[in-house]
Amino acid sequence: MPSRGRVLLLLLLVLVPGCRREASPAPDLIVVNARIWTGDPARPEAEAMAVREGRILTVGSGDAVRSMASSTTRVIDAQGRRVVPGFNDAHWHLPMRPRVELAGAGSVEEIQRRLAPLTQAGASTDWVIGGGWGPTDFPDRAPHRRYLDADFPDRPVLLTDRDGHQALANSHLLRLAGITRDTADPPNGRIGRDASGEPTGLLQEAAMGLARRLMPPVTEDEAYGMVLTELARAASFGLTSVQDASASEPDSVRVKAYQRALREGTLPIRVRVAVPFEKGATAARLAAFVRVRDAHRDGWLGFGIAKGMLDGTVDGHTAALLAPYADRPTDTGLPMWEQAALDETVAAYDTAGLQVELHAVGDRAVRMALDAYTHAARVNGTTGRRHRVEHVELPSPEDLPRFRTLGVIASTQAMFASPDSVTLGSFAPALGPERASRADAFALLDEAGAVQAFGSDYPVFTMEVMRGIHAAVTRQLPDGTPPGGWYPRNRISVAAAVKHFTADAAYASHEEREKGTLAPGRMADFVVLSEDVFGIPPERLWAVKATMTVVGGKVVWEQR
């Protein structure tokens, strides 16, 4: 028998040509002459890497990796550049319509200037959609429809603020929506009013729905176009994964657009999509969320997480606080849930096996989320769900250790620490100095042992990863202000920031064994950077570019 076995094996090796190659397969792609930061503690640095069928074969020395190559292997010479795992934006939104970018406008005149090209074009039924303004762009921090009415007397204008939690409508749109001084605030929303009770055009939280429901629906082709252009832009910043936190219905136009891109093989990067987290979700509804998750196990398009909202924003005075706003002594914000209903709903999703992510900015809302997760773990006896709190801008110091003990992810946004005019002129004064000093406190969360996943909240903020890393590391603007950084106690290291944008973001989607580090068996998702982020002065981080982005061993972006 033994000799017969040997003969058989020999025959197999000779007769089946693929057989020998499979024993030590040649890579499709090798990266050489690189400075690889792997994120893998077993081998933190390397100079070369081999890839086959979308996965990493080996990470090692240049000689070892070169010797594996065959004549068909593609060789990427990184020219000594820094290579890191592909970035993963843990909190991102696909914009569904093109909009006029108002970020950084700084004044009403500049907002009007940016909208000016639209005053000529378009019919009276065409909407003027913009976004990105901050309260400090307006005199007395008071956005008002009067600034829009002269240029747009008979077309609907809706301009969302930089946080996406309030919007300014012109008078024509208020008329179309039937919003008058007699209109009551909707639940979880506010209609901005002047001293005499007249609507100002400012619509906060759910009040935006009064205007938005009049917008023409986005078509499937338009949504598909947005998927392709927005994900291609993401790849150009080194992103190889994004986690869309938009609470999408499984049969929505957005999800259909992602599925079409998956089917047609046109998804440039990987996407995970959140479904709605809602009060009274029926068993059938939860089963549908589980079904869409189980139907997508390909590594490109994923589900399995539900997004809910517990409060608003500090700038809008809608974030739910334990103590009143510094500049509004009777106002503690706008919590959107009762604790008992939240507990019950989180427990229901938890039982169904779904991960939950709850938007919670203020210390009161963050505590409500942590309390609900505590409740779910207790009544269901579940562990390892990795439920998440999104934004966590102002956690109470007492609640910081709970992230680690509960295994709850702190899903924070690096760019929120950017001390721009809105942060300094609106956000910080609303909280007062003590609370502002521990807001977006990435260092405090790290020290408390929380798993902290970084994201951008695009399109609220730019999705340029290096801008985010620069903000987290320096707490300064690219122009170097303020000197020393905004509350520099909360600066973190470049390595910590990169880890939050890679391995920790992968952990936050239960995918740390698939991506986020560069090690044998992992997905071949990586980015080549124009400069060594670990070696340059931190003031220059914002200017670092992705020169090449590779997803599943395929080059999806290359700077030319």
Number of H helices, E strands in the chain: 21, 24
Rounding to the nearest 10 degrees, give the CA dihedral for residues 438, 444, 448, 452.
100
The helix or strand, by DSSP H or E, that contains position 68, with its residue range, turns out to be none
CB of 103 to Zn ion, least distance (A): 15
Considering just the CA atoms, what is the radius of gyration of the chain in Å?
25
Longest Cα separation, the chain: 100
How far, in Å, are 224, 254, 327 from residue 267 at the CA level?
10, 13, 46
**Could you tell me which stretch among 31-39, 111-119, 238-246, 253-261 binds Zn ion (CB under 5 A)?**
238-246
Q: Which is nearer to Zn ion, 245 or 492 (CB)?
A: 245
Q: Which is nearer to Zn ion, 460 or 556 (CB)?
A: 460
Q: Which is nearer to Zn ion, 458 or 487 (CB)?
A: 458
**Could you tell me which stretch among 99-107, 405-413, 453-461, 539-547 binds Zn ion (CB under 5 A)?**
453-461
DSSP, res 543: G
**Could you tell me which stretch among 272-280, 337-345, 454-462, 465-473 binds Zn ion (CB under 5 A)?**
454-462
Residue 95: name the closest of 236, 262, 233 by CA: 233
Q: Which is nearer to Zn ion, 302 or 455 (CB)?
A: 455
Strand 55-60 vs strand 48-52: parallel, antiparallel, or unpaired? Answer: antiparallel
CB of 465 to Zn ion, least distance (A): 16
Cβ–Cβ under 8 Å, residues 135 and 161: yes
CB of 93 to Zn ion, least distance (A): 6
Question: Facing residues of 358 across strands?
Answer: 308, 389
457 binds Zn ion per the rule CB under 5 A? yes
Helices (H), 274-417: 283-294, 339-351, 363-380, 400-406
Length of the chain: 560
CB of 535 to Zn ion, least distance (A): 33
Based on the number of CB atoms within 10 Å of its own CB, is 80 exposed (0-12), middle (13-18) or buried (19 or more)?
exposed
How far, in Å, are 68, 105, 317, 334, 416 from residue 360 at the CA level?
50, 27, 13, 11, 14
CB of 308 to Zn ion, least distance (A): 12
**Could you tell me which stretch among 221-229, 243-251, 341-349, 503-511 binds Zn ion (CB under 5 A)?**
243-251
Residues 527-556 within binding reach of Zn ion (CB under 5 A): none
Residue closest to Zn ion, measured at CB: 457
How far apart CA 310 and CA 373 sit, in angstroms, is 13
Q: Which two tokens stand for residue 294?
A: 């189980």
**Could you tell me which stretch among 170-178, 188-196, 452-460, 490-498 binds Zn ion (CB under 5 A)?**
452-460
Rounding to the nearest 10 degrees, give the CA dihedral for residues 476, 481, 483, 484.
0
**Could you tell me which stretch among 29-37, 303-311, 425-433, 456-464 binds Zn ion (CB under 5 A)?**
456-464
Cβ–Cβ under 8 Å, residues 319 and 289: no
Q: Which is nearer to Zn ion, 47 or 457 (CB)?
A: 457
**Could you tell me which stretch among 27-35, 173-181, 239-247, 440-448 binds Zn ion (CB under 5 A)?**
239-247
How far apart CA 386 and CA 23 sit, in angstroms, is 38
CB of 162 to Zn ion, least distance (A): 12
CB of 393 to Zn ion, least distance (A): 12
Q: Which two tokens stand for residue 43?
A: 């081998």
Cβ–Cβ under 8 Å, residues 328 and 312: no
CB of 377 to Zn ion, least distance (A): 25
| DSSP assignment string, 115-143 | HTHHHHSS-TT--EEEEEE-GGGSGGG--
CB of 274 to Zn ion, least distance (A): 10
CB of 457 to Zn ion, least distance (A): 4
CB of 309 to Zn ion, least distance (A): 9
Q: Which is nearer to Zn ion, 93 or 172 (CB)?
A: 93
Q: Which is nearer to Zn ion, 137 or 457 (CB)?
A: 457
CB of 307 to Zn ion, least distance (A): 8
Residue 306: name the closest of 278, 343, 325, 328 by CA: 278
Q: Which is nearer to Zn ion, 161 or 457 (CB)?
A: 457
Residue 307: name the closest of 271, 360, 376, 378 by CA: 360
**Could you tell me which stretch among 100-108, 196-204, 244-252, 506-514 binds Zn ion (CB under 5 A)?**
244-252
Task: Write down the residue that tokens 């124009």 correspond to.
Answer: 530
CB of 413 to Zn ion, least distance (A): 8
Q: Which is nearer to Zn ion, 246 or 332 (CB)?
A: 246
Q: Which is nearer to Zn ion, 95 or 186 (CB)?
A: 95
Q: Which two tokens stand for residue 293?
A: 């998750």
Residue 304: name the closest of 509, 504, 63 by CA: 509
Q: How many residues bind Zn ion (CB under 5 A)?
A: 2
Residues 54-93 within binding reach of Zn ion (CB under 5 A): none
Q: Which is nearer to Zn ion, 440 or 457 (CB)?
A: 457
Q: Which is nearer to Zn ion, 245 or 477 (CB)?
A: 245
Residue 498: name the closest of 448, 436, 546 by CA: 546
Q: Which is nearer to Zn ion, 318 or 474 (CB)?
A: 318
393 binds Zn ion per the rule CB under 5 A? no
161 binds Zn ion per the rule CB under 5 A? no
**Could you tell me which stretch among 67-75, 136-144, 151-159, 449-457 binds Zn ion (CB under 5 A)?**
449-457
**Could you tell me which stretch among 131-139, 185-193, 245-253, 472-480 binds Zn ion (CB under 5 A)?**
245-253
Residues 295-354 within binding reach of Zn ion (CB under 5 A): none
CB of 366 to Zn ion, least distance (A): 15
Q: Which is nearer to Zn ion, 32 or 245 (CB)?
A: 245
Q: What is the contact surface with Zn ion in residues (CB under 5 A)?
A: 245, 457
